[in-house]
Chains A and B, each alone.
Chain A
Amino acid sequence: MNKIRVWAIILIISGAFIGYFTYSTEYGQTLGNFPFKFGLDLSGGTHLVYQANVSNIPAKDIDSSMQALRDTIERRVNIFGVSEPIVQVEKGSLNGVTLHELIVELPGVTDLNKAIAQIGSTPILEFRLEKLEAKNLEITSTSNITLDQIYQPSVITGKDLARADVAFDPTTSAPQVSLTFNAEGAAKFADVTKNNIGKALAIILDGSPISTPVIRDQITDGKAVINGNFTPQQAQELVRNLNYGALPVPIELIGSQSIGASLGSDALKASMAAGIMSFIIIAIFLILWYRLPGLIAVIALAVYTVLNLAIFKLIPVTLTSAGLAGFILSIGMAVDANILIFERMKEEMRRGHGQEMAMKEGFHRAWLSIRDSNLSSIITALILYYFATSSLIKGFALVFLIGVLTSMFTAITVSRTLLFAISPKVGKRFSRFMFSNGFSSGYTLEDKNTSKK
């Protein structure tokens, strides 16, 4: 019994500690270097504009290439699904010429160079065919031949790549990068290799040819290998960058600005006020209906809240007004596990068990319910996270997952420990009242009979 009481005190102190950490690492407070990251609607950020060079893409493919570019950059900027960027294709016109641009808005990013570096390190992969005339060009070390003079673009672009892997040459053990094209790309590759036997197909990365194999045969399996004199690290880094997404279209940064929040600080204040108010009302409801266990639930909820907020800080998860709303919602849902346990306890007490027995039975039987219902929520969140490609859904899935896991954790550890720690001696009238809930007074029919004796 005392061991449990010690644990209870440890838990409460840890909770308070985490709460202090969450509060004091905001800007302007004592340890202010770990602030919350807020989304574009709540805080400002950076607005970047990239010009896309579509001169090598046939007109009918421009829109789909721009979409692929948008998706690739968003993936790049939002690796864990928590940054909530806005990435949009923009079509403008200047003097009658249509410009294709990409807008990237990053919330809370103050280090512009880091953001640009991350986007910029997305490799541009091109496949070009040797021009017939180029065979006769004399290349000396002083001549300034441009890429375009030697090579013409082929129909294969970086967006046809399905994945890249590190491979090792079977004879020399030199690191290579093996490329696998997607279905459409494999078909194009087969075509190009069939019609251009004897010519060189240059694989160009970021503007420089890294490999120029001569086509000997038609290749129908959609696989190609780049031998570029890589070190193992270079091969791995290239594979990683290619898999995040080779850019289908070359881009150039033409503008950057810092932008203010679209909703201003009022929205943040309103969200926080709503959060605090709902917490208070829920707490009042819990204490009124469930009395003493309700108070335990409120403490568990408080620990849940600060734990969640601390996790949001550490990952860091970008909080938008929707994310905050989802979090407020999850506070309501976190109560559920506690309610399940208390209702069970009430039932057990109605059957005549004492408080301690009722608590143990309550936990034991409620656990299956809690486990299965939370498991299904976890499965939902995981599937949404892995299969959804839009950052909006990914972000939601992650916040939901964190919320469910944390609520399971606090229900099992905090609620349980605190409840057992305060479990009183059996039978005292006041404690029965404090432990029962709703409108009952904690008495069962059998009590009335025994007390008469």
Chain B
Amino acid sequence: MFVIKYRKIFYAFSVILFAVSFYGIFTYGLKLGIDFNGGVIVDMNYTTAPDTTKINPALEKLNIGDYSLRASGTNDVILRTKNLTDAERNDVIAALSLGGETPTVKTFDAVGPILGAELQKKSMYSVAMVLLAIVLFITFAFRHVSKPVSSWKYGIVAVVALFHDVLIPIGFFAFLGHFYGIEVDSLFVTAVLVVLGFSVHDTIVVFDRTRENLKLNETAKPKKDFEQIVGDSVSQTFIRSINTSLTVLIALLVLYFTGPATTKDFSLALLVGIVAGTYSSIFIGSPLLVTLEKIRKNK
């Protein structure tokens, strides 16, 4: 079917996306927020309880990136921000005065990150383990269809599709960080993990159909060739893949437009990741199988 026939076009498109994402990540890097870098914590004391709804918009306008403002005790306010320059510090105190009178600063301390270097490293190890486990699982689950493409190759293709799905939202946010100053926090990490889980789920459904058709083909007459079988599998699962992603995207769009402000970036990351995931399951995963088989045949 057309997905397989024109696979070179789809590969080219993905390679371009890959390259652009790589470029974004390596030149601009992700803009890491206070969850990764640490920042400052400020405890302000007022004589009467302040009105945080007035202070929040003023703080937003200052463009100091991610912050968290919380009422504490009866008349206090705890503010967490990134490390502030002196000028920014004065601006912040001015903004905090909008809720009542000028507060007195009780403490103004440096605070460590929640996802510091050590935790980041450990988290990356666990993701690497997940990738390895997926390859092993797919190799095992697809062990009965080792011809013409051996089952571990299915695993490798799935992981390549995974990389694709995870890299594109990261690259997207690298650009967003550079041009719009959007910071990446621990929610972003969660979003990337969700894309991971979803992408695997999706890819396996398509592969499963290939597996079934290969089995059927063993007793069929006339026997179809591998390219034909994969093509049929893709067209058979096409509607299902689109519909599933559609329901998820509906949920995400609703979340993006009507949900709370904190999850806006989260839903954006997920939207990009899941669109990339659906694209890779249909247009990259299966065609790659065909390419692998052709390479093997030409050896």
B258 touches A259 (CB 8 A): no
A-binding segment of B21-29, B184-192, B289-297: B184-192
Counted as pairs of residues, one from A and one from B, with CB atoms less than 8 Å apart, the total is: 232
Which of A91, A92, A270, A365 lies in contact with B259, CB distance below 8 A? Answer: A270
Is B16 engaged at the interface, CB distance under 8 Å to the other chain? no
A106 to chain B, nearest CB (A): 13
Rounded to whole angstroms, the CA-CA distance of A324 and B130 in the bound complex is 24
B198 touches A376 (CB 8 A): no
- Closest chain B residue, CB of each to CB of A397: B193
Residue numbers in A under 8 Å from B239 (CB-CB)? 343, 438
A257 touches B76 (CB 8 A): yes
Is A6 engaged at the interface, CB distance under 8 Å to the other chain? no
Residue numbers in B under 8 Å from A387 (CB-CB)? 122, 125-126, 129
Residue numbers in B under 8 Å from A262 (CB-CB)? 68-70
B137 touches A375 (CB 8 A): yes
Interface centre among B73, B133, B202, B250 (most CB of A within 10 A): B250
Rounded to whole angstroms, the CA-CA distance of A333 and B138 in the bound complex is 21
- Closest chain B residue, CB of each to CB of A268: B260
B200 touches A377 (CB 8 A): yes
Is A116 engaged at the interface, CB distance under 8 Å to the other chain? no
B41 to chain A, nearest CB (A): 6
B212 touches A285 (CB 8 A): no
Which of B133, B240, B262 lies in contact with A41, CB distance below 8 A? Answer: B262
A383 touches B130 (CB 8 A): yes
Rounded to whole angstroms, the CA-CA distance of A128 and B244 in the bound complex is 62
A373 touches B250 (CB 8 A): no
Is B65 engaged at the interface, CB distance under 8 Å to the other chain? no
A259 touches B71 (CB 8 A): yes
A90 touches B109 (CB 8 A): yes
Is B101 engaged at the interface, CB distance under 8 Å to the other chain? no
Is B48 engaged at the interface, CB distance under 8 Å to the other chain? no
Rounded to whole angstroms, the CA-CA distance of A41 and B259 in the bound complex is 14
B126 to chain A, nearest CB (A): 4
Is A278 engaged at the interface, CB distance under 8 Å to the other chain? yes
Is A219 engaged at the interface, CB distance under 8 Å to the other chain? no
Residue numbers in A under 8 Å from B197 (CB-CB)? 377, 380-381, 400
Rounded to whole angstroms, the CA-CA distance of A274 and B72 in the bound complex is 29
Which of A66, A268, A332, A380 lies in contact with B134, CB distance below 8 A? Answer: A380
> Per-residue CB proximity of A276-291 to B under 8 Å, as 1/0?
0110011001100100
Residue numbers in A under 8 Å from B111 (CB-CB)? 88-91, 103
B266 touches A325 (CB 8 A): yes
Is A155 engaged at the interface, CB distance under 8 Å to the other chain? no
- What residues make up the interface of B, taking CB atoms closer than 8 Å to A? 38, 41, 52-53, 68-73, 76, 78, 107, 109-116, 118-119, 122-123, 125-127, 129-130, 133-134, 137-138, 141, 186-187, 189-190, 193-194, 196-198, 200-202, 204-205, 208-209, 212, 236-237, 239-240, 243-244, 246-252, 254-255, 258-263, 266-267, 270
The 10 closest A-B pairs by CB, nearest first: A332-B248, A260-B71, A89-B112, A267-B260, A387-B126, A92-B109, A332-B251, A274-B259, A278-B254, A278-B251
Q: A277-B254, A332-B250 are in contact. List 17 more A-B contacts (CB 8 A).
A: A70-B112, A259-B70, A260-B71, A262-B68, A270-B260, A324-B263, A332-B244, A333-B247, A336-B201, A339-B244, A368-B212, A376-B200, A383-B133, A384-B127, A392-B190, A393-B190, A397-B193
